[in-house]
Amino acid sequence: MSIKVVIADDHEVVRRGLVSLLAGSEVKIVGEATSGDEAVKLTKKLKPDVVLLDIRMPGKDGLAALEKIRADAPAVRCVMLSTFDNPTYVARAVAAGAHDYILKGSSRSELTRSRSGRPRCCGTWRWACPTRRSPSR
């Protein structure tokens, strides 16, 4: 079973890199967005399992998009993807309902396991696991 993913990042090199990095896995990239507004629209249209959201994008940023996606499509898992290892961003993302916060410098294997080194959750990518508790608001 493939995991449908929308990637939202304003940098094409990051989007292309993620597509390449995730090639050959059970992840199927179903859409790419360059802004938070576009991510919200694609999420409504494509109904992915997961949205990978950059924090800082033009227009509606990733945090604003996260709030809208969580309100409109609560079943979609939202993962923040950032270059910023910033506790404020992490706290804001968790408060807005992010399921995970991953740094752009992460390796493919780091994307597939938790920080504790546990293997993929219930046979799928940790951020796509349907049994993983959503953060409370």
**What is the domain partition of the chain in residue ranges?**
3-128
pLDDT bin (cut points 50, 70, 90) of residue 106 is confident
Would you state the pLDDT for residue 107? 81
Cβ–Cβ < 8 Å for 57, 8 = yes
Q: Which spans in the chain are helix H? A: 12-22, 36-46, 62-72, 87-96, 108-111
Give the pLDDT confidence of 13-44 residue by residue, as tens digits: 999 999 998 888 888 999 999 999 999 999 99
Would you state the pLDDT for residue 129? 54
Q: Is 15 helix (H, G, I), strand (E, B) or coil?
A: helix
Pick the CATH number of 3-128 from 3.30.830.10, 3.30.450.30, 3.40.50.2000, 3.40.50.2300: 3.40.50.2300
Give the pLDDT confidence of 32-88 residue by residue, as tens digits: 999 999 999 999 999 999 999 999 998 889 999 999 999 999 999 999 988 888 889
Residue 75 burial class via C-beta count within 10 angstroms: exposed 0-12, middle 13-18, buried 19 and up:
exposed
